[in-house]
Amino acid sequence: MAELGKPPLPIHRYMADVALEVDENGLFVYTTILGTLQRQVGKTTFDLAGNIQNALLGPNRRTWYTAQSGQHATDKFLEMADTWEGSNIKQLARKPRRSNGSASLTFINDSTFRPFPPGEGTLDGKQSDRTTLDEMWFWTIAQYQLMRQSYKPTQTTRRAVTGQRPQTWLWSTEGTVDSTALNQLLDEARSSTPSPTTAFFDWGIDDDDDPTDLDLIYAKHPGAGYLFDMDDLRGFQDEFRDAPDEFARAYGNRRTGATERVIPAGKWKDARWDGHTEPDPAGPVCFGVGVGVDGVDTTITANQLYAAGTLSAVVKGGWMEGTYGALERMRELADKYPDAAFAIDPHGPSAALHDAAERAGFRLVPLTATDVIAATQSAFAGLTNPSGATFRYKPHDRFDSAAELATKRYVGDGTWIFGRRASVGSISALESATLGAYGVHHMPAVRGMQLG
């Protein structure tokens, strides 16, 4: 890094000391390096130096770099190439190739450093001694698994060929609730049984820290005082004045959605049914049905008028993994309560179930995209009503989990619905109750049913 014109900071020295540790045979101890860190810590130069160091360990070594897209990977590689050409050691490599699709840095020992596009099969048949996956927060589990299937086999035979263990470096700031690949990796690394072959670095503010406290963010940022000062940090914050949670993610390294709830915890607790009064026995009943992203689960709720609002309950046998069995349970409920209706979103993950229910002749509440927005806003208003909740629910762990995980997904100019994040947790119970409570007010009067 010093020869590249950017001497290492304490964070770089520390990570290099740990990640590049060798055993008694001179082999790398760690095969995977997972690091989450804030913006402005010199990660790009550190990674470039690491790839150069690996490439110079011996002849004909192969190191690779990718990011959230092929173009991003190429752009970042070209930035690294500019740094290389301005260094004191550029004579150790030939002039970098910059053509998109064939960009590379070839060293005088015939080792190469190249960018590659993320995706299935992009490194099939290639050899790899070091592979960097940058900006991991952009990828889902499915995307990461496809990429892993491409690069992991390339490392299998390299120890026998080079005499050194290959390494995979995974970099990112903390992600959002949709960063399912990174979130899974971090959950594993933070568990009580992390992999002994993974070196894990985790920088940033704590979950209970105030993400608007610039003094705290500055104190916990390893680049502060080296790469920027407090005035710069104030400028960074101002850039995110309309997205404070994104500032917390970028400069505090805090996952968006992990500590910020759409439904306030206190309001959610206050909306819990008190267990003493029952809903109107003569009121209409609407069964809500919600399906998690990718059909991960299905929840059926019964919803009825209660005081000035509605009361929702997960029916017996109303939660199931996947969608198999949902139609059968709905049929049982329809046979037992023939005057009840069902509210199912005809779009999104529940579209197939809605179609099947429609073809099977179920009595369905007609729902458009506008109705789903109205149902969401009605539920949220009922939960946060200053005079007391009008959207009530019977206690159930699926409700509590969904309320904690739900995020906003904007669908228009200021309008939003509850966002799903199936791979981190499902909000199908909340969706089910939201639609069912709305359906109670948009169906003909029916014979009542006690919620059990």
Burial of 412 (0-12, 13-18, 19+ CB in 10 A): exposed
Tokens of 351: 């579209």
Domain for residue 232, yes or no? Answer: no
- Percentage of the residues of the chain whose pLDDT score is greater than 70: 95
Residue 250 has a pLDDT of: 92
Q: How many whole angstroms separate alpha carbon 284 and alpha carbon 287? A: 10
Tokens of 148: 């892993």
Q: Are 45 and 111 in contact (CB under 8 A)?
A: no
Do 199 and 289 lie in one domain? The reply is no
Task: Identify the residue whose tokens are 């949902």.
Answer: 326
Residue 258 has a pLDDT of: 43
**Element containing residue 68 per DSSP (H, E):** none
Last residue of a domain, one of 154, 187, 203: 203
Do 328 and 423 lie in one domain? The reply is yes
Per-residue pLDDT band for 119 (boundaries 50, 70, 90) equals confident
The CATH number of the domain holding residue 427 is: 3.30.420.240
Residues 312-333 as b or e (16 or more Cβ within 10 Å = b): bbbbeebbbeebeebbebbeeb
Do 333 and 196 lie in one domain? The reply is no
Do 36 and 182 lie in one domain? The reply is yes
DSSP tag of 121: T
Average pLDDT over residues 32-51: 96
Per-residue pLDDT band for 149 (boundaries 50, 70, 90) equals confident
Q: Which domain holds residue 50?
A: 10-203
Q: How many whole angstroms separate alpha carbon 52 and alpha carbon 435? A: 56
Domain for residue 5, yes or no? Answer: no
Last residue of a domain, one of 203, 226, 249: 203
Do 199 and 271 lie in one domain? The reply is no
Angle at 160 between CA 159 and CA 161, to 5 degrees: 90
Average pLDDT over residues 199-204: 96
Last residue of a domain, one of 172, 203, 234: 203
Average pLDDT over residues 51-68: 95
Domain for residue 352, yes or no? Answer: yes
Residue 274 has a pLDDT of: 82
Domain for residue 253, yes or no? Answer: no
Do 54 and 156 lie in one domain? The reply is yes
Q: What is the pLDDT of residues 409-446, one digit of tens each?
A: 777 666 888 876 543 568 999 999 999 999 999 986 54
Per-residue pLDDT band for 233 (boundaries 50, 70, 90) equals very high
Predicted confidence (pLDDT) at residue 259 exceeds the cutoff of 50? no
Domain for residue 236, yes or no? Answer: no
Do 271 and 134 lie in one domain? The reply is no
Q: What is the pLDDT of residues 271-303, one digit of tens each?
A: 999 887 777 777 899 999 999 877 889 999 999
Domain for residue 211, yes or no? Answer: no
The CATH number of the domain holding residue 158 is: 3.40.50.300
Residue 276 has a pLDDT of: 74
Q: Are 326 and 289 in contact (CB under 8 A)?
A: yes
Q: How far is CA 106 from CA 56, 61, 127, 362, 446, in A?
A: 11, 10, 15, 66, 76
Q: Are 38 and 203 in contact (CB under 8 A)?
A: yes
| Structural domain total, the chain | 2
Do 82 and 188 lie in one domain? The reply is yes
Average pLDDT over residues 201-215: 91
Domain for residue 243, yes or no? Answer: no
Residue 406 has a pLDDT of: 84
Domain for residue 223, yes or no? Answer: no
Do 186 and 57 lie in one domain? The reply is yes
- Percentage of the residues of the chain whose pLDDT score is greater than 90: 66
Residue 423 has a pLDDT of: 38
Do 159 and 291 lie in one domain? The reply is no
Q: How many whole angstroms separate alpha carbon 169 and alpha carbon 159? A: 17
Do 196 and 283 lie in one domain? The reply is no
Do 74 and 160 lie in one domain? The reply is yes
Q: What are the helix and strand counts (H, E) for the chain?
A: 15, 14
Average pLDDT over residues 396-416: 82
